[in-house]
Chains A and B, each alone.
Chain A
């Protein structure tokens, strides 16, 4: 199966999970996902997802000045974001276990 197809449905969850570990600017989140093993994730998909989650009120952002290069816009989970993460994680676990039961013997 093309992993990217599977990723589509869970990118929100993955991004929220990365941000739960630590606040991060866009590229940090990209790297966090890659490090976690989601190497097929597209950069622009991550940036777009961050923006959408932010617009949905699940993230806050703050700017940290940087000596070298651009300022950093950090994204951070807020309370609704944490709640969304919990909900989505629960849905994910149920779904994953259902799928595991279904395909476990294969």
Chain B
């Protein structure tokens, strides 16, 4: 692990080859600002970027900026040819750990479009609300009336949220337009009717367990003994 070669030999000439997932600006910024300029670093960084592609562009840029600096610092300490994966785990594992600790929502996984089931839930809620309220009014039963209101409460947020989402089943994004506090938005989003996001704790450390899904848990165990936020 400890290389004798600890002089700073980050090659500034080597161009980075990172696939553009977050737009060319972000890429250029990551390449020039982070100094993650060796091939190994660039490849690792690209791997992490691919795993975090669902983050808002600003947040992604900032985070990758930090990651790039991290890789450079490691290269300075361990030598430019150091095996980053031995030290940090795979890019996927690194990204998962980062995601959990940063409180980002778990990576999107392909699944049945959420839109249809959500719409169904909302519709069922509205129907139930109508039925219960009618029954409550007709039968002068406050219990039914309450049930109806409850169903309405359940259905309306789902409906309004559906309106704001452009494409039902696409990759989920954190809703921070300007790279603002991601956690708060998601906390605000915790409500009825959106299980995928709502059940996820917005802040990861110590509560990471529920956040992980989709990734390969096996990867996380590769780094024997090292602390990670995920289970």
Spell out A's residues near B (CB within 8 Å): 3-4, 7-9, 11-12, 25-27, 38, 40-52, 55-57, 68-73
Q: Does more than half of chain A's interface fall in helix, strand or loop, or is it mixed? A: helix
Residues from chain B with Cβ under 8 Å of A41 in the complex = 226-227
From residue B59, how far is it (CB to closest CB) to chain A in Å?
A: 8
State which of B63, B181, B205 has its C-beta within 8 Å of the C-beta of A45.
Answer: B205
Q: Which of A12, A44, A70 contacts B98 (CB 8 A)?
A: A44
Q: How far is the CA of A41 from the CA of B184 in the complex (A)?
A: 26
Contact A26 B69 (CB under 8 A): yes
Our pick among A25, A26, A44, A50 for the contact of B88 (Cβ within 8 Å) is: A44
Which of A8, A12, A68 lies at the interface centre, i.e. has the most chain B CB atoms within 10 A of its CB? A8
Chain B's closest residue to A66 (CB) is B35
For residue B206, CB closer than 8 A to chain A, the reply is: yes
Q: How many residues of B are in contact with the other chain, CB < 8 A?
A: 47
- Inter-chain CA distance A42–B72, complex, in Å, is 17
Does A42 lie within 8 Å of B180, measured CB to CB? no
Query: Nearest chain A CB to B28's CB is how many angstroms away?
Result: 14
Contacting residues, chain B, for A49 (C-beta < 8 A) = 101-102, 205
Is chain B's binding surface mostly helix, strand, loop or mixed?
helix
Interface residues of B (CB under 8 A from A): 8, 10, 33-36, 62-63, 65-70, 72-74, 76-77, 87-89, 94-95, 97-103, 180-184, 203-206, 208, 223, 225-229
Taking the closest CB of chain B, its distance from the CB of A71, in whole angstroms, is: 6
Contact of A52 among B67, B101, B180, B225 (CB under 8 A): B101
How many angstroms from the CA of A11 to the CA of B228 in the assembled complex?
11
Q: How far is the CA of A25 from the CA of B66 in the complex (A)?
A: 9
Q: Point out the residues of chain A lying under 8 angstroms from B87, CB to CB.
A: 43
A44 to B84 CA separation, bound complex (whole angstroms) = 12
Kindly list 4 other residue pairs between chains A and B, CB separation below 8 angstroms, not including A38-B227, A44-B89: A40-B227, A52-B102, A52-B103, A55-B182
A52→B204 contact, CB < 8 A: yes
Quote the shortest CB–CB distance from A70 to chain B (angstroms): 3
A72 to B225 alpha-carbon distance, docked (Å)? 29
Report chain A residues within 8 Å CB of B89: 44
Query: Provided the pairs A8-B205, A44-B97 are in contact, do residues A56 and B66 lie with their beta carbons within 8 angstroms?
Result: no
| Of B10, B36, B226, the contact of A42 (CB 8 Å cutoff) | B226
For the complex, what is the distance from the CA of A46 to the CA of B227, rounded to whole Å?
A: 10
Nearest-neighbour CB distance to chain B for A62, whole angstroms, equals 13
- Please give, as numbers and ranges, the residues of chain B lying within 8 Å of A68 by CB-CB distance: 8, 10, 76
Q: Enumerate chain B residues within 8 angstroms of A69, measured Cβ to Cβ.
A: 8, 10, 35, 72-73, 76
Q: Which residues of A contact B68 (CB under 8 A)?
A: 70
A43: B residues at CB distance < 8 A: 70, 74, 87-88, 94
Chain A residues with CB under 8 Å of B204's CB are 48, 52
Asked whether B65 lies within 8 Å of A73 as measured between CB atoms, the reply is: yes
Min Cβ gap B207→A in Å is: 8
A73 to B228, CA, bound (A): 23
